[in-house]
Structure 1
């Protein structure tokens, strides 16, 4: 499995290069077996700063999202969010359609509601949606409408893109809730969701529950009580789990030293980070790295 070279940072790819044509916050591309040059960059661990949906009609190979491998299936939908660590194992011919859009696109009126759809929130940490023949027909038709608007610039392009994208994401969110079941959130569940969102934004520099309570304008005691009741885990555990996830990503995909990873995650002392990681996983960082490389050569 490819890894980065020593001292090579994990690249963060924007939606388009600065000199690329088209919409800076929304992009649709169709693959018909060709190998675009930019995909060579995907053979090394990387992150994207945008949401990405790929409808795979056929072709493709194994790729990774965080520490999980996926072999692309025909007539399936794959989705990822900004910041997830990804890589492709090889460049195989692919037939399908890719839709990408940024956080800025979702921040525009009237797009904000899209960010709350289950597919984009992804509470179950899914990546793959399996489609029935009826689903495939609907997705193909909606993507065709999106593609037509994407190549028709003008005053009405953005509203039409938003309209068709809303239909697509809403439909896929219904499939998401069927394939990754969950209940409608209560007020306390919404607080838990906000807490997790703040952790995602600040986990590198904020390691204490009280810091997040201040961000949410509530007391640390109330936050701890609600989080424990809703998730079954102490509030501090959510922070620790996020730190461990990022540590695993870096240990798995990069040759960064344990000291470098510790500092990247806001630990002033590498030895304390190592003790923390072993307490949470049962392994030292070095043991985890060696074991994962043996398991997934």
Structure 2
């Protein structure tokens, strides 16, 4: 697996407009044994969009953040914007890739899609194993999506939305079966909202009170609900997100500890060093050495 060798930050690949259809927020593409991976996908990178890949047949390994996935046949892989992705080698691929942007989900007609478990991904999973029947159903819906996508017309957008709703709803049912969970309560939704805010602001906001202010709640109430629902103090969620991003940068980039500390909103590199060791038991330098040695 490649790691970045320059001082540049992890590249973020924007959504690319489909040159055939002109779509700027949704694409679907099928591969029948081609090599779809560009060289720039073999280095650690982020995508500025959601990615779903239905694999009929493929071999190889890819990473989502620090988790490796050995690709399996008849399996769906998915990721959200800003996660660090990398593929280890280009290999022949049979299947279908579907992409859409955050802006696509903000459209009023897609409001229900935003709340689906596959999109929310509360368990931070990135792989769904499909039975033969599941695979046939998913492939059929993807075929219908591709047919509509390639034939613009007055009803195209509604048909795309209808087929996509069926697909993501079906996959969300599989998600809840493979990543067990129940319908969230009001307090659980608050926890999810808090975590989403952390995702947006963790580089700038390091205190619970700052998030409570954004959510128009008292810090005490927010802390009480978060602790009751997650079993962890509210501040721990902020710290864990900072540690996750620090680990990403330590693993995939050659950025100095000072640069990483500054990127994460720490004005003092020595404080970042102490913070990371307190949270993980290792200094940032020790973690970088250990994790890279593990996957050499």
Question: How does the TM-score come out when normalised to structure 2?
Answer: 0.98
CA apart distance, 1:9? 1.9
> How far, CA to CA, are the matches of 1:131 and 1:260 in structure 2?
42
Paired residues for 1:76-155 under 5 Å = 76-155=75-154
Q: Which residue of 2 aligns with 1:261?
A: 260
Shift of residue 240, structure 1, vs aligned partner: 0.2
Q: Partner of 1:273 in structure 2? A: 272
Distance (Å, rounded) in 1 between the aligned partners of 2:59 and 2:21: 26
User: d(CA) in 1 for partners of 2:60 and 2:17?
Assistant: 25
Q: Aligned partners of 1:217 and 1:290: how far apart in 2?
A: 42
| Partner residue, 1:57 | 56
Q: Does 1:14 pair with 2:17?
A: no
* Pair 17,4 (structure 1): closer, same or farther in 2 beyond 3 Å: farther
For residues 155 and 66 of structure 2, the distance between their equivalents in structure 1, rounded to whole angstroms, comes to 41
Which secondary structure state, in structure 2, belongs to the residue aligned with residue 92 of structure 1? coil
Alignment of 1:8-47 (within 5 A): 8-16=8-16, 22-36=22-36, 39-47=38-46
1:123 is paired with a residue of what secondary structure?
Answer: coil
The offset of 1:15, in angstroms, is: 1.7
CA deviations on 1:23-76 (whole Å, 9 max, x unpaired) are 11000011111124x621100000001111000000131000000110100000
**Is the counterpart of residue 190 in structure 1 residue 189 in structure 2?**
yes
Contact 1:56 1:95 (C-alpha < 8 Å) held by counterparts: yes
The DSSP-based 3-state class of the residue aligned with 2:73 is coil
Q: CA deviation at 1:22?
A: 2.9
C-alpha separation in 1, matches of 2:204 and 2:133 = 46
Give the stretch that moved more between structures: 136-145 or 9-18.
Answer: 9-18
Task: Give the Cα–Cα distance (whole angstroms) in 2 for the partners of residues 294 and 13 of structure 1.
Answer: 28
Q: Give the superposed CA RMSD.
A: 1.2
1:289 partner SS: helix
Separation in structure 2 between the aligned mates of residue 259 and residue 139 of structure 1, nearest angstrom: 46
Where 1:189 maps in the other structure, the secondary structure is: helix
Distance 1:44 1:17, change over 3 A: farther
Instruction: Provide the C-alpha distance between the structure 2 equivalents of 1:109 and 1:123, rounded to a whole number of angstroms.
Output: 23
Paired positions, count:
296
Aligned to 2:230: 231
Q: TM-score, normalised by structure 1?
A: 0.97
Alignment-derived partner of residue 288 in structure 1: 287
Q: Paired residue for 2:178?
A: 179
Matched residues in 1 for 2:278 and 2:26: separation? 43
Contact 1:15/1:27 (<8 A) preserved: no
Further displaced range: 250-259 or 15-24: 15-24
Gaps of 5+ in 2: none
Is 2:250 aligned against 1:251? Answer: yes
Secondary structure of 2:38 counterpart: helix
SS in 1 for 2:247: helix
Structure 1 equivalent of residue 3 of structure 2: 3
Q: Which runs of 4+ in 1 moved over 2 A?
A: 17-22
